[in-house]
Structure 1
C-alpha cells in the first residue's frame, strides 16, 4: 500500500485515512488503526497551532517507545519540526540539547511533567500528552502562553525532524531532515524488503534514533503493515513478543542481535513456529560470524544494511533472495547513488578503497548553521560519509572502517572490523571491540576490549588471532571487561575506548 506520490508525513497518513486495518499494536495498550492514527494525529497537530506552535518551530519530545511517541511525532511533523530525545538523558544533557536547538516547545507524558517544568526556558511552551482509554492522546498546555498560529501544513521541503549526529568526536552537529528526505528513505526501505500490508515489524530500537523511527516505524506505516511497539528492547521478553505478535521481520543493531542470539536455544519451539521472512541489521558492522549463526538459528536471510542520520537512515542493503546477500558486505544502493572517492574528490573504480560518498533524494542538504562542516562534507553534490570502503564488480559495498576509527600502526592502516570478526570466532569471546591505543614507537598499537563467557589467557588469544591475522594486526593487549561501553543508541564507542580505559594519559 506504499504510495510513492506521498511527499510529506501528512500525505502519507492521508493515503491511509480510510484504512481500518491495524497500524500499531503495543502490549497492554489499545491497538490503533490507520484511520485512527490519521484522525488522532490531525487533532494533535491542530492543538499545536492553538498553543502558538507552527512551521519553523522546533519541538522536543521526551517519551519512551510507544504509540504515544509515534502520534506525537507525526502530529509535530505536520505543523512544525520534531526533535525526539532519549528519555534516559540526565538533566544536564537535556538542558544542552534543548538550548542547542533553541526548542520552542517540549512535549512529555504526565510522569515527566516535573522534569519538563524544570527544563523550561523563558518563552518555552510545555505540553503534556495525556493518554486516553481509546488509545488516543490529548495535548494539554502546562506552561507558556503564545498567540495561536493559523493552520499551515508542512511542505516537502520543510524540516520534519531534527537530530544530532552520534559522532565520536567533537560537538554533535545538527542534522535537519525534510519531509522529502524521510519519504524517500521510507520508500527505499519498502522497496528493498518488498514490504506489504501483510508484514508485521517488531520495533525494539529507540524511536528517538533514526534507525528506529524510519526503518521500523515509518517504513511499516508507509507499507500499510503493522508495527508492534513495546516500550523498548528486553532480552527476556523478546521471544515472548515474537510468540504473541508473530512479526515477519525486525531490525536491530549488531549488539542486540548478539544478545538475542545468546537466548535462542531456550526458545527453539518459538523460533520454529514463528519464522521470520527476513531479519535486518544496521547502524554498525555485523561480524560475519554473527550473521552465519543467526541465519543458521532462524533459517531466514539476515540482511545487513548501511545507514546514517544524514541520509535519513538507509543508504545500502543486501537484497532479498534470490538475489545474493554477501557476508561482510552492506549491500547495494536502493534509490541511492553510491560512490568511492579519493582525498582529492575523484571517483574511484570498483575494487579500489576510498571514502564512501552518497547522493539521493533521502540525503539531507547540509548541517544546520555549520558552513565549515558542510564545505568539508560535500564534494560536487556527493556527501562524504567519513566511512572507508570499496565496491565489488556487482556494486556491493564493503566497509573497511570508519576513517576516524582506522588504527594507524606506524603507517599501516588497520580495519578494526577484521580483528573483531576473528576474535568473535573464539569460543570464549562474547563481544569484542578492537581499537587503537597510543604507542610511542608506532603512534598507535592494536588493543581489544573483550567480554568473555569463560576464562582464557592472553597468550592463547594472541595465538588464536595469529592463525588468521598478520602479526601487526594481532592485539598487543586485551582488556577484559564486564560490560562494553556504548552510546545511547547502542553504538560501540570505539574511538573513545582508549580514553575510557585510561590509556591516553
Structure 2
C-alpha cells in the first residue's frame, strides 16, 4: 500500500498518459516518475528538503500540476492564489514560514517583491515548451544544504493550505503524505477510476478540490488529467473535443455556466460522451443535477469535501446504487457521524453536527490550540456543518452552522430556501443569507440571477416562495443581480454577503 506521493506515482503503466495539456504531448506515468526523482534531487541541490516549505504561485496548467506532484515528493508544498495582492502574500508567506517561493519565469507577481523583502529564496520555473506537458526547469541560487534530503516519508507534511477564514483569521491545515494518499484512493474508489479514465481539470490548483480530486486521484488510479489554463465556459466544449475526457469535477456555479452553453455544443456532447460528472465544494441544487444528467446523459455524482479532510468525506455512489438529489451521499473514506453539542453521537434521522475521523483527516491545525480544542471531540473532527443521516446512510447537509439564519429565535437553513427559489422558472442561481435586523437580530435575504431571456421582479419571486415556505422563511429582501459575488474557487459565499451587497 502506497503511503507517500512518490510511492503513489508508481501505480501507472510506464507508457500510459498521466498529464496532458493543449498543444503538448502527454507526459507518461514513467516520465512523471523520472521527473519526480529529478525534482527531488534538484530541490535538495537548491537546499530544500523534507519539512521545508515552498510557496507555489503559478498559473493553472500542466506545470502547476507537476510542480505540486513532484515538489511534494521532497518537501512541503504551499500553493497560493496567483491573484492575491502584496498584503495577502505578505500574510501567507509569513504565516507559512516559507523557505522558498516558486514563480513562473516572466510572471510579474507581487509575491516576488514580498519574498525578497523577507529574505525568502525565489526560484523561477521555466516550462520546457517543446517537451511533454508539465516538464520544466527550475532556476535559482542554493540556500545552503538541505537539512533533510531524500524522498519524503509517510508522516511528513506534504501540503499546507489555509482555511477560507470567512469569519475568523485563516487557520493553517497541515496535510501529511499519508493523508493525501488516503484521500486520492478514497476518491478513486468512489468513482471507480481506472487507467482508462481521463479528467479535464477546470478547478484552480491552489485549492484542495482540484489538487486532490482532479489531479492526484487520477494519477493514483493510473489514469490521466488534462490541465486547462483555468475555468472558461466559452472554451470548455473545445477542451472536451481536444482532451476527450471521461469525466470532470467542478463547483455548482461552474456546472451552471457550462449548462448555459451546452445547447449550442450538443454535437460535441454527443460525440464525446462522459462516464460521469462530479460536483463538490458547495451544495448542488437538485434542479442543476437533473439538467446536467439530461444534457450529458451520464450520472452526476455529488460529493462532500473540505480542506481538513484532504477533500472527500462522503459521496453519492455510482449506478446502479441510488443517487439522492440534495444528499451528499454515503461515507466515502472516513467514518461519518452526527454529534450533538455535548459530544454525544446521534442516531439516524437526528440532526446535529457532522463529524468525521479517518486516515485522510488532518491531525490538527498548526499552532492553534484553541481551534484544535474546539474542532476535535473524542477523536472526531467537527466539520462545522449541520446535517442528518437517513436510515440508508445517506447524509444531507442542512447548512453550515455559522450560516444558519437566526430570525428572532427561529432557525432557518439557507439551503432549504435556495432550493425553493431555484424552482422558480425564471431563476438560474440563488443564494440565501442573513441580513441584520434591528429587532430580530437577523432576517432572511436572497440574491438571485435570472435565466437568460427571463424576467421576474422581487414581488413575483417572493410570492412564489410564500406558496412553498413558512412565512418566517420567506426572504424579506430579494436582490436581482447580473452576477452573485463568488470566492476565489467559484463558490457562492453566504457569510459577509449582506455587507458586500450593502444590506
User: What interval of TM-score do these two structures reach, taking the shorter chain for normalisation?
Assistant: over 0.9
Task: Find out whether 1:138 has 2:134 as its counterpart.
Answer: no
Partner of 1:267, secondary structure, is helix
Secondary structure of 2:499 counterpart: helix
Tell me the alpha carbon deviations over residues 380-439 of structure 1, each in whole angstroms, 9 at most, x when there is no partner.
110000000000000000000000001111111111111111111212222111111111
Residue range with higher mean Cα deviation, 302-311 or 491-500: 491-500
Do residues 89 (structure 1) and 48 (structure 2) align? no
SS for the counterpart of 1:316 is: strand
CA shift at 1:29, angstroms? 2.3
How far off its partner does 1:502 sit?
Answer: 2.1
Distance 1:114 1:432 in 2: 35
Judge which range, 448-457 or 56-65, deviates more.
448-457
1:19-30 superposed matches below 5 A: 19-30=14-25
Q: Which residue of 2 aligns with 1:448?
A: 446
Distance in 1 of aligned mates of 2:484 and 2:263? 24
Between 484-493 and 149-158, the greater mean CA deviation after superposition: 149-158
TM-aligned CA deviation for residue 162 of structure 1: 0.1
Instruction: For structure 2, list consecutive stretches of 5 or more residues without a partner in the other structure.
Output: none
Q: Shift in Å at residue 299 of structure 1?
A: 1.4
Distance 1:461 1:157, change over 3 A: same
1:34 equivalent among 29, 36, 58: 29
Q: Is the 8 A contact 2:462 2:478 kept in 1?
A: no
Q: 2:99 aligns with which of 101, 104, 113?
A: 104
2:248 paired residue number: 250
Give the whole-Å Cα distance in 1 for the aligned partners of 2:112 and 2:165: 29
Give the secondary-structure state (helix, strand or coil) at the position aligned to 2:277: strand
Which residue, out of 61, 64, 70, partners 2:59? 64
Output the CA distance in 2 between the equivalents of 1:342 and 1:331. 21
1:187 and 1:175 map into 2 onto residues whose CA distance is: 20
Task: Specify the SS of the correspondent of 1:231.
Answer: coil
Shift in CA distance, 343/114, structure 1 to aligned 2, threshold 3 Å: closer
Tell me: CA distance 1:340–1:114, structure 2 relative to 1, closer, same or farther (3 Å).
Answer: closer
Matched, 1:382 2:380: yes
Residue in structure 1 matching 2:335, options 330, 334, 337 = 337
Please report how far the alpha carbon of residue 111 of structure 1 lies from its aligned counterpart in structure 2 after TM superposition. Answer: 1.9
202, 211, 228: which one aligns with 2:209: 211
Please give the alpha-carbon distance, in whole angstroms, between the structure 2 residues aligned to 1:297 and 1:374.
Answer: 44
Alignment match, 2:229? 231
Aligned to 1:430: 428
The corresponding residue for 1:478 is 478
TM-score normalised over the length of structure 1: 0.96
Structure 2 SS opposite 1:290:
helix
Greater Cα offset, 98-107 or 23-32:
23-32
Question: Who is 2:412 aligned against?
Answer: 414
Residue matched to 2:361: 363
**Residue 116 (structure 1) shift:** 4.7
Q: Could you tell me how far apart the structure 2 residues matched to 1:185 and 1:328 are?
A: 23
Q: 1:241 aligns with which of 218, 239, 242?
A: 239
1:18-58 Cα offsets, whole Å, 9 max, x none, are 61111111002232001111111211121111111111211
Change (3 A) 1:463 1:114: closer
- For 1:8 and 1:69, locate their aligned partners in 2 and report how far apart those are by CA, in whole Å: 19
> What's the Cα RMSD here?
1.4
Change (3 A) 1:196 1:114: closer
How many angstroms apart in 2 are the aligned matches of 1:167 and 1:492?
A: 15
1: CA distance between counterparts of 2:390 and 2:326?
A: 12
| Displacement after TM superposition at 1:94 (Å) | 1.4
1:102-501 residue pairs with structure 2 within 5 A? 102-112=97-107, 115-120=110-115, 121-132=117-128, 133-135=130-132, 136-141=135-140, 145-149=143-147, 151-453=149-451, 454-501=454-501
Matched, 1:11 2:7: yes
Q: CA deviation at 1:90?
A: 1.6
Give the stretch that moved more between structures: 301-310 or 92-101. Answer: 92-101
Instruction: State whether residues 126 and 144 of structure 1, in contact with CA within 8 Å, keep that contact through their aligned partners in structure 2.
Output: no
Judge which range, 130-139 or 349-358, deviates more.
130-139
- SS of structure 2 residue aligned to 1:100: helix
Q: Against the structure 1 CA distance between its residues 98 and 463, is the aligned structure 2 distance closer, same or farther, given a 3 Å change threshold? A: same
Aligned partners of 2:93, 2:111: CA distance in 1, in Å?
Answer: 11
Deviation at 1:14, TM superposition (A): 3.1
SS at match of 1:205: coil
3-state SS of the aligned residue for 2:496? Answer: helix
The 3-state SS of whatever aligns with 2:173 is strand
The whole-number CA distance in structure 1 between the counterparts of 2:222 and 2:360 is 21
Looking at structure 2, the residues matched to 448 and 115 of structure 1 have their Cα atoms a distance apart, in angstroms, of: 36
> How many matched pairs?
497
CA positional deviation for 1:319? 0.2
CA contact (8 A) 2:82 2:109 kept: no
Which secondary structure state, in structure 1, belongs to the residue aligned with residue 63 of structure 2? Answer: helix
- Structure 1 pair 315–150 and aligned structure 2 pair: CA distance change class (3 A): closer
CA contact (8 A) 1:181 1:361 kept: yes
The Cα offsets for residues 282-317 of structure 1, whole Å up to 9 and x where unpaired, read as 000001111111111111111110000000000000
